[in-house]
Amino acid sequence: MGARGPSCGRCPSVEGLRVSNIARSYPDGSGGLRPVLDGVSLDLPAGHSAALLGRSGCGKTTLLRALLLLDVPGPKDSGEILLDGTPVLRRSARRLRSYRRVVQYVPQDAASSLDPRLRVVSQVTRPMRTLGVPGSREEHTAAAEDLLTRLELPRQVWHSRPHELSGGQAQRVAIARALAPAPRHLLLDEPVSGLDPALRRQVLELLSGIGADLADKETTAQPQHVPAEQQDRPAPALDCARPAPALDCARPAPALLVVSHDLAAVARICSRGIVMDGGVLVEDAPMGDLLTAPSHPAARALRDAVPSLPSPQGVYQPQQPARRQT
């Protein structure tokens, strides 16, 4: 793998989430098993933003489900998920609840993930109550209303039910619900697929606000593991356009993991790009490197699918990268 990112999942423990050598298979329909994840390892440090990229079917959602502890590992499955160095698979219900407070999720089809019986404010207060966030009912409601305001959900819809919301409003409610317990990690599965261009822009601006908050922190963060052979690599030639202003939220921004097959969509949100192909990680690089000089064919295919990207110098046009020495 072209591991050029902040860490590779095999170095000493860092604060945050670690995927350690995860292997997963699904039934192949004829009594056997088909490997879908094959020894995936990576670190997702606190306070960083990363995009998990790859073509359809490469295993992104399966990896996300493993991280969310939503899958039940089969007898041939292996590997571990660690939070701050502590294994989290096979947790008791109580400890699972504490994991859910730390790691939150916005699913691909956000609208259908909302509880059809609950009004918008209750969608957001429910996880605070079920996950044991301290505070009275009134305090939870005030916090939910604060989040909805920050996410620019108009007050008129605060008491609407999900079927009365537009797609973009439902997406924002799902993001507010995930932010409500003040998680340290926010995982998003294809957050803008299926949205029309205007809503897509709105949601990307919202997420880039969180990403910008993280980027400001990353500039002052301790350096992460960089393999020795990569330590003198020059800075990325292309810096992404400065994201929108940070989400002005009293709580610290969570680390982001944004699953997508659209490099253009995530380039403004995430500072790191992780590319999967055929169930393995094939590239892990700063976003600027992925845009200018992707080394693996799957990463090049993603980059070449981007027609043009704004850059401080003008419009970025993808070119064939020079062959990288490894």
Ligand X SMILES: Nc1ncnc2c1ncn2[C@@H]1O[C@H](COP(=O)(O)OP(=O)(O)OP(=O)(O)O)[C@@H](O)[C@H]1O
Compute the distance between CA of residue 23 and CA of residue 37 in angstroms, rounded to an integer: 5
Between 70 and 237, name the residue whose CB sits nearer to ligand X: 70
Between 60 and 140, name the residue whose CB sits nearer to ligand X: 60
Interaction site with ligand X (CB under 6 A):
26-27, 36, 54, 56-62, 261
Between 48 and 261, name the residue whose CB sits nearer to ligand X: 261
Between 72 and 250, name the residue whose CB sits nearer to ligand X: 72
Q: Which two tokens stand for residue 88?
A: 């989290």
Between 60 and 184, name the residue whose CB sits nearer to ligand X: 60
Q: Which two tokens stand for residue 183?
A: 């998680």
| Residue 59 φ/ψ, nearest 5 degrees | 115, 10
Between 33 and 244, name the residue whose CB sits nearer to ligand X: 33
Give the burial string for 12-21 (b: 16+ CB within 10 Å, else e).
eebebbbbbe
Q: Is the dihedral of CA 117, 123, 129, 132 positive or negative?
A: positive
Compute the distance between CA of residue 240 and CA of residue 317 in angstroms, rounded to an integer: 13
253 contact partners, CB below 8 Å, separation of at least 6 = 47, 210, 213, 214, 217, 246, 247
The continuous run of DSSP H or E covering 287 comes out as helix 287-292
Compute the distance between CA of residue 275 and CA of residue 2 in angstroms, rounded to an integer: 10
How far from chain centre, in Å, is Cα 229? 28
Between 167 and 278, name the residue whose CB sits nearer to ligand X: 278
CB of 293 to ligand X, least distance (A): 24
Compute the distance between CA of residue 19 and CA of residue 10 in angstroms, rounded to an integer: 9
- The burial of 218, by beta-carbon neighbours within 10 Å (0-12 exposed, 13-18 middle, 19 or more buried), is given as middle
